[in-house]
Amino acid sequence: MKGNVLMVQGCASSVGKSLIVAGLCRVFRRRGLSVAPFKAQNLALNSYVTADGHEIGRAQAVQAEAAGIEATVEMNPLLLKPESDAGFQAVVMGKPVSKAEARELFEDRSRLSALVLDSLERLRAKHDLVLIEGAGSPAEINLRERDVANMHIARKANAPVLLVGDIDRGGVFAHLVGTLALLAPEDRARVIGMIINKFRGDPRLLTSGVKELERITELAVLGVLPHIPNLKIAEEDSAPLDEAKRSSRASVGQLDIAIVRFPYLSNFDDFLPLEREPGVVVRYVELDSELNSPDLVILPGTKNTRGDLRWLRESGLADRVLERAKEGRSTLGICGGYQMLGHSIEDLLGVEGRAGTEAGLGLLPVKTCFRETKVSRRVSLRIAPSSNSPFTAGLPASVSISGYELHMGELQLEPEANALFVHESDKNPEGVQRGSVVGTLVHGLFENEELRTGLLNRLRGLATPRPLASSEPRGLHSELDRVADALEANLDMARIQSLVGS
């Protein structure tokens, strides 16, 4: 027997579809259902590696966590990762394909449709309910004939649709009415209710507008969801970082961690565990004038390492990173950021555009050579016996550290390189340290509590005049519960539950 389906679509990108699906996963799990998320096609730079080494959108991994199940590749069969203003890497069923293969696939809508529907059917065979997330807006009339992620899926799966609008952006009534007006009649008939998201203030102020909206559309507003402040759940893209950049300022006694916001910044969900920590301010910087004097600078992952390295130099931030190294100030590079800290990045195959070699910052004794094959795997690490970095100081050798690798570049360590970790599986070195500068290919390190706590305590000892008050940081599960609680309190869940036949 196939599981039921319910679809959440939005008037635009970043209106809160991913978060609402995650919240509904948690709500229905609480109600005793076996539930799974699904998104046919994702355009995102935040990604996740499944247990069997497949790459999917990070949002679907968070939704799976909310549902209490292991993330699988079927939850996101198509992932598009922007590499430039006009190009992207296509990840199909968890593995990257060549640009020629991607072009052929995306020009054949029937083949594309069969691929995503097969993934959906496999999930429906295993679960009571599959919550489907749309992509962008279903009202992109220029893309209607090529759509496989919105109304096409709703029709094929016979899914009822909830339409979400973001009131925080302004114009939510026009967005909802306009979206419905641009849908084909058979697609509009699939929309069974609307949700107004991210409202700040007294919802009674919306009463007259909601009544008029319902009169015009002949559809019910099934709830007005409040803006949930300081929510620390991974986002699909970097748009929410604009608000974080404006609002984040370290006060006296707080740790100040500055993350370089590359144009093609990826996997910035690495830093959510730091953001959840009390007494820690995480901010994103794009100009050397914004850097000031943080306790730690992080060069994060990027989908265009060579291009973002050129940008780093042009912005003036490269010079500041070099100055910090001379002063013995802490700097961490992760994945692409690690590659930038080495001597060179060689891309003779043109993996990231035009073939060539880029000089790195020369702070770590490694060089990078890009390969055609992408490394996508989970890893378990131990502290290297020779490690003397502040990043790992004081941690016992017995501590097991988990994370994942996701990169095209292969790193070659020079003989004098001092390893940070070793892989538990084969004892090969991972990561490099030199003085106050550290680099690693591994994402997700800050999810490891002992490593994260040890690093922050060492930074506090160097940077703050007095101990900080400690409290338990909010973890992902408590954040997901906050979302689920908000949905339970503000949505017509009886009506929504009736739509899925449970």
| Catalytic positions, written as ranges | 335, 443
Which 3 state secondary structure label does DSSP give 102?
Answer: helix
Instruction: Give CA separation, 260 vs 156, 288, 308, in Å.
Output: 43, 10, 10
Q: Are strands 401-413 and 356-359 parallel, antiparallel or unpaired?
A: unpaired
* CA-based end-to-end distance of the chain: 14
Nearest to 452 by CA among 237, 231, 298, 233: 298
Which 3 state secondary structure label does DSSP give 408?
Answer: strand
Q: What angle do CA 314, 337, 473 make, to 5 degrees?
A: 120
How far apart are the C-alpha atoms of 50 and 4, rounded to whole Å? 24
DSSP conformation letters of 35-92? EEEE-SEEE-S-EEE-TTS-EEEHHHHHHHHHHTS---GGG-SEEEEE-SSS-EEEEE
How far apart are the C-alpha atoms of 28 and 6, rounded to whole Å? 12
For 186, the token pair is: 């058979």
For 171, the token pair is: 């114009």
How far apart are the C-alpha atoms of 64 and 75, rounded to whole Å? 9
> Contact, 78 vs 118, CB < 8 A?
no
Which 3 state secondary structure label does DSSP give 211?
Answer: helix
501 burial level (CB within 10 Å; 0-12, 13-18, 19+): exposed
Give me the helix-helix angle, 476-490 and 58-67, nearest 10°. 80
